[in-house]
Structure formats: structure tokens, C-alpha cells
């Protein structure tokens, strides 16, 4: 299911002299998990007086988002079902009015603010999937107060098609404070978080059958994720 074609590109800034053709090394195989983990684990922010890393040391909201795929009924589909994406067993229903517009004008019936902070029915996320793969559907949001600190653990799952999930946070940079394979274990994994000089970015990847933890401060009002 993955296009394993390899391409190489080079970026040269204006004013920099052209360089001679480089000698390319062999690209690691597509399943080189250890190589990827080792490389990502070496990345650090500067955390200097000029470039401080303002990592939230405490959090007001501790969230666990399980990223999954489900199967919902579909009368018009060939086999009567369709594959859907979900987080914490909620498949997003696109509203007829933009969420931010609905919030600003206090429009009723566009969304609800009951998005679950944790999976409603915990299971072995990277093990055998549950028998029932049907999701709930809704336009749900999770509200944050201005300037509150947030920790989100994004948990990959083994449902139907395990894969690496790219995640982007609109309007924010965040700190990647932890990452691992398997199921996130708060009692064990929390102690390994890097709260000193973690990488700061706005997009990152949740590893296949693994998890990534981020922290940020909600100081940019609006709609994110």
C-alpha cells in the first residue's frame, strides 16, 4: 500500500555557489524503524538565552488521542460499509458552517463541545483490534482556556491499516517531549519525557503502532488541529 519509489531533491539558497554532484548513500529500507527512531531521538532544540525552549513544565489538560480507522454502515456502498478515520472513536462530520464562525456568532446546533479527552473504551491499541470497528459520528470539539498548557499523547493503533500518521497543529508550534513504540504507559513513559530541550515544530509524525507526546501553550485563540 506504500509507494516505495525514492527521489532526491536539493535546495540551494540564493547567493550560494553551486556545489558539485554529491555522492549518495544507500537509503535505509522502508521498515528501518530503529534507524528512524535513533535519528529522531538525537534531535534537540537550542534552548539558549537567545533561543529559549519554553516547554510547559506543568499541564492543565492531559489528553490521549487514539488515531484509528473504523468501518461504518453505508447503504449506498458496494458491500454496505465504508472505511472512516477517527480519533477517540469519533469520526468528524463536516459542518455546514465553519466552526470558528459558529463560535464567534454563537450559532447553536453546529457543534458540541464534548470531544473525549481519552478513548471512551480503552483497548490494546497496538495489539489485536476490538471486534466492533464501528465509530461514533459527530462535529465535536474540545475547549481550551486562553493561555492554558496542554499535553497531547497521540497514540497510533493497529486498526485495519497501521501506518505512520503526520499531525499538524494549526496556529502553534509545539514541543515533541516524547515518542515510543507500542502503547503509551503513563506510569513508565512520563518519566522519560524531555522537558529541557525538545524539538519545537508544528508538524510531526506518529510512528506506526507507536505514540508521540507533545506540549504547547494555548495562547493563540481560534480553531486548531
Whether pLDDT at 159 is above 80: yes
CB 211 within 8 A of CB 126: no
Whether pLDDT at 1 is above 60: no
Rounded to the nearest integer, the mean pLDDT of the chain is: 91
Strands annotated E in the chain: 61-73, 81-87, 90-92, 136-138, 149-156, 165-168, 174-181, 199-201, 203-206, 210-217
| Cα dihedral 70→71→73→75 (10° resolution) | 130
Whether pLDDT at 192 is above 60: yes
pTM for the model stands at 0.86
The per-residue pLDDT for 93 is: 95
The per-residue pLDDT for 5 is: 75
In 36-66, which positions are buried (b, 16+ CB within 10 angstroms) versus exposed (e)?
eeeeeeeeebeeeeeeebebbeeeeebbbbb
* Mean pLDDT, range 105-119, rounded to an integer: 96
Q: What is the pLDDT of residues 37-90, one digit of tens each?
A: 888 889 999 999 999 999 999 999 999 999 989 999 999 998 899 999 999 999
Whether pLDDT at 21 is above 80: no
The per-residue pLDDT for 30 is: 77
Cα distances from 180 to residues 40, 77, 173, 194, 218, in angstroms, run 11, 37, 21, 13, 25
CB 223 within 8 A of CB 101: no
The per-residue pLDDT for 34 is: 85
Amino acid at each position: 500500500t506504500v509507494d516505495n519509489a525514492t527521489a532526491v531533491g536539493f535546495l540551494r539558497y540564493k547567493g550560494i555557489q553551486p556545489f558539485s554532484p554529491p555522492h549518495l548513500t544507500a537509503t535505509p529500507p522502508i521498515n528501518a524503524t530503529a534507524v528512524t527512531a535513533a535519528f529522531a531521538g538525537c534531535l534537540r532544540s537550542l534552548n539558549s538565552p537567545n533561543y529559549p525552549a519554553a516547554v510547559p513544565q506543568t499541564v492543565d489538560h492531559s489528553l490521549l488521542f487514539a488515531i484509528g480507522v473504523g468501518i461504518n454502515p453505508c447503504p449506498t456502498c458496494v458491500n454496505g460499509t465504508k472505511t472512516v478515520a477517527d480519533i477517540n472513536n469519533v469520526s468528524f462530520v463536516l459542518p455546514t458552517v465553519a466552526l470558528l464562525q459558529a463560535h464567534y456568532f454563537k450559532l447553536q446546533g453546529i457543534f458540541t463541545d464534548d470531544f473525549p479527552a481519552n478513548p471512551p473504551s480503552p483497548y490494546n491499541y497496538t495489539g489485536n483490534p476490538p471486534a466492533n470497528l464501528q465509530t461514533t459520528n459527530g462535529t465535536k470539539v474540545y475547549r481550551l482556556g486562553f493561555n492554558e498548557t496542554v499535553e497531547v499523547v497521540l497514540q497510533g493503533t493497529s486498526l485495519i491499516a497501521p501506518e505512520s500518521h503526520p499531525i499538524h497543529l494549526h496556529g502553534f508550534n509545539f514541543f515533541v517531549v516524547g515518542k515510543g513504540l507500542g502503547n503509551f504507559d503513563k506510569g513508565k513513559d512520563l518519566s522519560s519525557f524531555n522537558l529541557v530541550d525538545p524539538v519545537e515544530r508544528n508538524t510531526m509524525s506518529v510512528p506506526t503502532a507507536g505514540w508521540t507526546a507533545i506540549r504547547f501553550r494555548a495562547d493563540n485563540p481560534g480553531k486548531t488541529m
